Amino acid sequence: MTANGKKDPLWFKDAIFYELSVRSFYDSNSDGIGDFPGLIQKLDYLEDLGVNALWLLPFYPSPLKDDGFDITEYCDIHPDYGTLKDFKLFLKEAHQRGIRVVTELILNHTSDQHPWFEKSRRARAGSRYKDYYVWSETTEKFKEARVIFSDEESSNWSWDNEAKAYYWHRFYRHQPELNFENPEVQHEIIKVVDFWLKLGVDGFRLSSVAFLFEKEGTSCENLPETHVFLKKLRAHIDKHYEDKILIAEANLWPEDAAAYFGKGEECHMSFNYPLMPRLFLGLRTEDTYPIIDIMEQTPGTAPNTQWALFLRNHDEIGLEMVTEEEKDYLFKAYANDPHTKHNLGIRRRLSPLLNNDRRKMELLYTILFSLPGTPVLYYGDEIGMGDNIYLGDRFGVRTPMQWNMSLNAGFSDANPQKLYLPIITDPVYRYESVNVATHEENPSSLVWWIKNVLAMRSRLNVFGRGDMKFIDSSNAKVLCFVRSYESQRIIVVANLSQFSQATTLNFSGFNDCDITEVFSQNKFKSVEGEEYAITIGPYGYFWFQADASEKKEEAIGSSELQLFKTEVSWEKVFANYHEVRVFERKILQPFMKKCRWFGGKAKIISKMGIHKVIPLRVEGDTYFLTVIEVHYVQRLPDLFPPTPFLIKWSTPRKV
């Protein structure tokens, strides 16, 4: 739903995603493993951070040999994480806070302990379950397919003694590939999709989607059959549901990754894998070229689609999509300890990759929040969490979330030895100092910085919806582009260098514009002529709002309070936590920002809510005298309005 209660199929364009694993987030029953009841308790934190969509890593029954990407039952919850009932409650609580929930659809493979595989390996040729998986008598088939988990596996075929045949797998040997040539397998997956969508899930990340089909003489990736299946899946979803999305995990070159959008009739989103390592490359080489070059190679996509942008996730930084030269450079620059290498990539969290340099983190986040696409944050990176490169596989970036300085970083009350993975105790990143509570207490912390930028970004829908054009900069260390949407134009300037830089930007499109720096609301010099000279500090960045001079006094819009519909009896609305939050978010905040008397518009708002309500009876009608409290970044809060106003409540008449 949008703020005014309407459905919006393009909601994902304005979303801020947060990727998390239920088992890493918060343990409610002291068994050392995070769970759904625990996650529910932390939803307020996520809402406050400013994210409005969650991407949950797998939480299904599984032997957890690939952290849950090895499923034994598609339509249930792993008992460590709770029950289906807990999941439903979680979904309801998230939705009440305006947070959507996207889950993993692991359609490419199952665990070798899945009942389908157990049946398949025993089935006779021609019987029902045999063709659920891909079997062969030799390992000679599909020779051109690369081995992805090259550190652990040497072949895509493994021998099964029971079946007396080889089975096909692109990842670990315990993850046999489902056979998508078999219509029954496709049907099973659609049943899984129906199960979760009917529960109210808002969409899926289609993991390993590039590998669904195999064909002799090809790389067995990205085959046309995969796109045919995706169109079918999308048509099914569009026919039966509203506002649901599909996100492709396809680590490919821009053209191929964009193919997962189809013409707008396949996936709604696709992760921008080629861009991500080039942000790190650009930063380290202090050169905008890798970023501009990859963006220019990225094709335009249908209006109902959007790239998902990320800096880090639960996997290694895969370097498949860079040249050999770039790979060598990235390994040298970011992975000089061999423990940080994994398969063809680098297994590190954001902060250790950037030497815990706050300026670099801010810079990369600013670029991430500014480029065309929907940003996806990885849990823990908002507090600059560290990693543990000695844990094996990718576990080093999957350790428990650090909430406070108490036992187990406040993640769990269990015996520390019982935790599913140890807490980070590295001297630089130790949980006693790197945790949510310390960050929240310090208004200069990274968490506060992220909250502020996200709050500002949500006021400028140009970033989620607008188009983008690079602006020439005379200095190759300074990146500059403009985002435009309707009448909004934001110019983004970012200095990739560790030193201050001077540059001249080509502002020919902004003749006579006034330039306002978005965060401070400070006026910079107006544009006269084509050239705009600026200086910018080390790893500095600007968001400049460009307004045509005559449009300076933009219409503020109507300040009418919208109708608020609720199931709760109106007398009890203000006593109901959820209703108050929904009212604040959907009605109050947009309303306040439009009011002429609201002087806080120029300051960075961190939080806005109802401070006090006093019921009043006036001439037989009930009113609520409502005082609003607005918190700002590093400034004292204000109470609004300066003169109290009355909100009139009425009960709808029964028809």
Q: Closest separation between CB of residue 40 and Ca ion, Å?
A: 12
Q: Closest separation between CB of residue 34 and ligand GLC, Å?
A: 17
Token pair for residue 398? 């999957």
* Closer Cβ to ligand GLC, 316 or 514, answer by number: 316
d(CA 458, CA 464): 9
Token pair for residue 10? 């393009």
Q: Closest separation between CB of residue 20 and ligand GLC, Å?
A: 14
66 binding partner (options Ca ion, ligand GLC, none; Cβ < 5 to 8 Å by kind) = ligand GLC
35 binding partner (options ligand GLC, Ca ion, none; Cβ < 5 to 8 Å by kind) = Ca ion
* Closer Cβ to ligand GLC, 175 or 626, answer by number: 175
Q: Closest separation between CB of residue 463 and Ca ion, Å?
A: 37
Pairing of strands 374-378, 17-20: parallel
d(CA 453, CA 364): 13
Token pair for residue 489? 């134009």
Q: Closest separation between CB of residue 21 and Ca ion, Å?
A: 13
3-class SS of residue 430 = coil
* Closer Cβ to Ca ion, 29 or 136, answer by number: 29
3-class SS of residue 195 = helix
171 binding partner (options Ca ion, ligand GLC, none; Cβ < 5 to 8 Å by kind) = ligand GLC
Q: Closest separation between CB of residue 33 and Ca ion, Å?
A: 4
* Closer Cβ to ligand GLC, 393 or 638, answer by number: 393
27 binding partner (options ligand GLC, Ca ion, none; Cβ < 5 to 8 Å by kind) = Ca ion
Alpha helices in 26-83 (DSSP H): 36-41, 43-49
The residue with its CB nearest to ligand GLC is 69
207 binding partner (options ligand GLC, Ca ion, none; Cβ < 5 to 8 Å by kind) = ligand GLC
* Closer Cβ to Ca ion, 60 or 539, answer by number: 60
Burial string for 108-147 (b: 16+ CB within 10 Å, else e) reads bbbbbbbebbeebbebeeeeebbbbbbbeeeeebbeebee
29 binding partner (options Ca ion, ligand GLC, none; Cβ < 5 to 8 Å by kind) = Ca ion
Q: Closest separation between CB of residue 518 and ligand GLC, Å?
A: 35
33 binding partner (options Ca ion, ligand GLC, none; Cβ < 5 to 8 Å by kind) = Ca ion
DSSP 8-state code for residue 458: H
CB neighbour list of residue 223: distance below 8 Å, 6 or more residues apart = 212, 213, 214, 215
Pairing of strands 306-310, 269-271: parallel
Token pair for residue 238? 């569009």
Pairing of strands 269-271, 245-248: parallel
* Closer Cβ to Ca ion, 116 or 420, answer by number: 420
467: which strand partners? Answer: 484
Q: Closest separation between CB of residue 417 and Ca ion, Å?
A: 15
481 binding partner (options ligand GLC, Ca ion, none; Cβ < 5 to 8 Å by kind) = none
d(CA 450, CA 458): 12
Interface residues with ligand GLC (CB under 6 A)? Answer: 66, 69, 171, 175, 207-208, 249, 314-315
158: which strand partners? Answer: 167
Chain centroid to CA 509: how far? 33
d(CA 53, CA 47): 9
Interface residues with Ca ion (CB under 5 A)? Answer: 27, 29, 31, 33, 35
* Closer Cβ to ligand GLC, 112 or 638, answer by number: 112
* Encoded amino acid at 536, one letter: I
* Closer Cβ to ligand GLC, 63 or 200, answer by number: 63
